[in-house]
Structure 1
Amino acid sequence: MSDFNKYCQEAAQEELPDSEDEEDIGDEDTCSAKELAAEFQLKYKPQDEASVSLQREYVLSLAADQGFTRIAAGLSSSAVHIYNLDAGAGKLANFSFLPPTESPQPVSICGIRFLDEGPHNILVGTTDGYVRLYDLRLKGEQARFKYTQHPEVSPVPKSIACFDRNANGRIICCGTDQFHSNAFLLFYDVRERRQMGVYCESHEDDITSVRFHTQNPDLLATGSVDGLINVFDVKEADEDEALLTTCNTESSVARLEWHRNVYDKDIVSCITTTGDFKSYESEEGDEVASFERPDVTAAIRRKRAGNFNLVGAHNQEDGGVFLLAGTNFNKGEILRSVSVTSKNNLQPLANFQGNKQIVRDSLFDAKNGLLITGGESGIVTVWTQDSSGAAGSSDKLKVKKDKKSRKQAPY
């Protein structure tokens, strides 16, 4: 019996609470169907879908290799499904399955990342404090990273909430929940399979997102429930010198992303736990854009901000940024995108028709114009532009661009 079939049989005996079971609160568009079609001129349709389980499980995290030839979906059970993706046809094919972590306590995925440019090496982070390295050409895990001890940190944090690897695949950084009044950034050397060091005074509450710059391997952004976004140069000698910028969102950070503006400056964007969107220049910390939950709700032409769900912020091939947003109404039926055209303006962009779930994570392949989503019904969906109802394939999601004390560093 395969690992996947064995897992499905065992999982079928369990039930996962799902927010989709909650009673929907009425919601509707703020304009007519004709006006909606005129404003959201790009129409996307599901080109292919894959169900990750025989029962209902959340897809919490998605990852793609650099060439978008392989997609990994991490589940609420800590299992990982891996698919080959034919970007030209927008089709998924089963490739591999990593079974759930064996643990006496409930364990969930806290992130997945392909380690390098290729599609073979993948990192899987779980809430029990481990990041595991798998080579998909071989059987079993190849390495395991977990915090052990540090002379300046006691007691030892036992779980992680998020992680990332840097641009050259050498370093892993993990963010922990608050533990004994502290939250930690833990660093590991991937090649030498060793713990490198820790930042232990940068955040005062759960660290919810860590993101290395996509090209600069030394640049790291971190976000926390304390509302701070910190940007570090991790090659500096100590934590105080490593800290380059601190931005106070005056909210709680849920997700970070890196962008680059028309002036070739690095931008860090943030989605807050309350569904707001904010972005800042990484060097100076100046606010670039700020949209509260009702602003984005209005931009996707929906009435009730209470149903609103901001999924992610994505970079386009021409350097623009769009927000993917939907609602929790009617099992997540509404899924739309808006482009960030200026500091104070959001422009309707695309309508994703036929959505079947509340979306929890998304990926965007700017080269091929593909959107990948995963969510609370356990479905991985590949979205492609519906040319029969769109302005033309050359218009794929393109928009006009506008203009504390710190301790020892990891190395």
Structure 2
Amino acid sequence: MDSLEDTFRTLSIARRLQPSEAMYILDLSLASCASSVSDVLAVCCSNHSVHLHSRETLRLVGTEQVEEDSFLVFWDVRMVQDRGETGSLLGVYSESHSDDITTVKFHPRQADRLASGATDGLVNVFDLSLGGEDDALVTTCNCNSSASSLCWTGKDLDQLLCLTHDEGLHLWDVARPDSDDTLTLLSSADARPMVQLPDGASLEYFVGGTWLSDEERILLVGGSNHGELHLLDCSGRGLRFIKSLRGGHSATVRCFQWDAIGRSLLTGGEDGQLLQWKAGAEEISVGMKDSLKSISSIQLKTKAHRKQATQKGRSKLA
């Protein structure tokens, strides 16, 4: 079987879904659990809607409208009562960050472990099984900027990758929070100069990172404001160029998902397009007739990629 890097080097557009209205794609999520693999791809859009697509064909299978004044609350599904009534709220942690929380990520294997990042420059790791906030906070790292995304990485998923809104990159070992050993494996306030791209290509921002468990490596995705994508390998030694993807998006790419089952890369961005990339593929357009137009109370037009304000000030605690 070809290595995953060989697959990356031969990626081309397999399917393209054009937007049916003025909106852009904010986030993607593939549904999966330990016992089964779902065919559903959830697409979060700027018009306050969530679209459900087939992960293989990209055809729209449903939508969910979210009200303008909406918020997200997490509940423990084990506490749902027999009559279907919701149980007690697990709790609220309000002291560990001093500004807007911009990203959260549960550990893929340890259900009670949660990482959070905020515009205060702090990245916290909690053990929710320990109860109160003071006890639950097990590690704090300082990225000295506004955190944009987090990813659990490493063979034992005991490392944490943090990207910031001003293109900083930090990789920490959080396996031993009480150890005197340094937590930092890699750190750069601006990681873009760490890798040279061929043919004068421009690396203007990072989309995010993901842990590839089969090959035990980090895939980092960056891009240009004109829609070009760059696949990079990330480790404690730095960044290494793998492949550039062109001819797909025409604006900033906001999100991606690697589908390990289908061996495809899914990308979405400010041009409103949802793309599927596969090795050696020939493009199939998913026409408008295959999509349902969501009804939105607010029509948002495509906006340029904006950086969030950076705040510094609190020191590293762990």
TM superposition score category, shorter chain reference: 0.7 to 0.9
Q: Does 1:352 align with 2:229?
A: no
Q: 1:282 aligns with which of 151, 174, 193?
A: 174
Please give the TM-score of this superposition, normalised by the length of structure 2.
0.74
Q: SS state of the match for residue 318, structure 1?
A: coil
Partner of 2:301: none
Indicate if the aligned counterparts of 1:258 and 1:266 stay in contact, CA closer than 8 A. yes
Instruction: State the secondary structure of the residue aligned to 2:266.
Output: strand
- Kept after mapping to 1: 8 A contact 2:18/2:273: yes
Is 1:83 the counterpart of 2:53? The answer is yes
> Contact (CA 8 Å) 1:62, 1:73: kept in 2 or not?
yes
Q: CA deviation at 1:345?
A: 2.5
- Where structure 1 has 5 or more consecutive residues not aligned to the other structure, the ranges are 1-38, 102-106, 108-127, 132-144, 146-163, 172-189, 389-403, 405-411
Rounded to whole Å, the distance in 2 between the matches of 1:62 and 1:41 is 19
| 271-280 vs 43-52, greater mean Cα deviation | 43-52
- The one-letter code sitting in structure 2 at the alignment partner of 1:246 is T
Corresponding residue to 1:238 among 119, 122, 132: 132
Aligned-pair CA distance for 1:278: 1.0
Q: Pick from 230, 249, 269 the counterpart of residue 161 of structure 2.
A: 269
* Structure-2 residue corresponding to 1:315: 211
Give the distance between the partners of 2:146 and 2:247, measured in 1 at CA.
Answer: 32
1:159 matched residue in structure 2: none
Look up the match of 2:86: 192
Matches for 1:115-154 after TM superposition, within 5 Å:
128-131=69-72, 145=73
Q: Does 1:385 align with 2:282?
A: no
Q: In structure 2, what is the Cα distance between the partners aligned to 1:310 and 1:302?
A: 19
Question: Which residue of 1 is the match for residue 64 of structure 2?
Answer: 98
| Number of equivalenced pairs | 263
Q: 1:339 and 1:291, CA in 2 relative to 1: closer, same or farther beyond 3 A?
A: farther
* Structure 1 residue 266, shift from structure 2 partner: 0.7
Structure 2 contact 103–149 (Cα < 8 Å) conserved:
yes
Q: Identify the residue that residue 63 of structure 1 maps to in structure 2.
A: 29
Q: What CA distance in whole angstroms lies between the structure 2 residues aligned with 1:326 and 1:363?
A: 15
Find the residue that maps to 1:235 and give its secondary structure. Answer: helix
Q: Report SS of the residue matched to 1:241.
A: helix
Shift of residue 223, structure 1, vs aligned partner: 0.5
Aligned-partner Cα distance in 1 for 2:191–2:157 = 28
Equivalences for residues 194-209 of structure 1 within 5 A: 194-209=88-103
Alpha-carbon spacing, 1:231–1:270, altered in 2? closer, same or farther (3 Å)? same
Partner of 2:224: 327
CA contact under 8 A between 1:299 and 1:346: conserved in structure 2? no
| CA RMSD of superposed structures (Å) | 2.9
CA drift of 1:170 comes to: 5.2
Quick one: distance in 2 between partners of 1:296 and 1:385? 28
Q: How many Å apart are 1:351 and its aligned residue?
A: 2.3
The Cα shift of 1:202 comes to 0.3
CA drift at 1:369: 2.2
Please tell me the residue identity of whatever aligns with 1:130: F
Distance of 2:195 and 2:75 partners within structure 1: 36
Letter in 2 for 1:269: L
Partners of 1:231 and 1:302 lie apart in 2 by 40
Distance 1:298 1:346, change over 3 A: closer
The structure-2 alpha-carbon separation of the partners of 1:266 and 1:165, relative to structure 1 and needing over 3 Å to count, comes to: farther
Larger Cα-atom Rg: 1
CA gap of 1:77–1:42, structure 2 versus 1, over 3 A, is same
| Counterpart for residue 396 of structure 1 | none
Instruction: Give the Cα separation in 2 of the matches to 1:68 and 1:362.
Output: 17
In the TM superposition, what is the alpha-carbon distance from 1:195 to its structure 2 partner? Answer: 2.2
Would the alpha carbon gap of residues 304 and 85 (structure 1) be closer, same or farther in structure 2, given more than 3 Å must change?
closer
Letter in 2 for 1:63: S
Deviation string, structure 1 residues 17-60 (Cα, Å, up to 9, x no partner)? xxxxxxxxxxxxxxxxxxxxxx998032110121242x331111
The higher-RCO structure (CA 8 Å, 6+ apart) is 2
| Aligned pairs (5 A) from 1:388-403 | none
Structure 2 spans left out of the alignment, 5+ residues: 1-5, 178-182, 283-313
AA at the equivalent of 1:311? V
Cα contact 1:165–1:212 (8 A) shared by 2:
no
In structure 2, relative to structure 1, the CA distance for the partners of 1:372 and 1:297 (3 Å cut) is farther
Q: Secondary structure at the match of 1:196?
A: coil
Q: Secondary structure at the match of 2:89?
A: strand
64, 74, 92: which is aligned to 2:44?
74
State the Cα distance separating 1:62 from its structure 2 match: 1.0
Q: What are the Cα deviations for residues 182-212 of structure 1, in whole angstroms up to 9, with x where unaligned?
A: xxxxxxxx98344232111100111111111
Residues in 2 aligned to 1:69 and 1:365: alpha-carbon distance in whole angstroms: 11
| Secondary structure of residue in 2 paired with 1:77 | coil
Q: Which residue of 2 aligns with 1:125?
A: none
**1:99 shift after superposition:** 3.1
Deviation at 1:292, TM superposition (A): 4.5
After superposition, the Cα gap between the structure-2 partners of 1:387 and 1:291, relative to the gap in structure 1 and judged at 3 Å, is farther
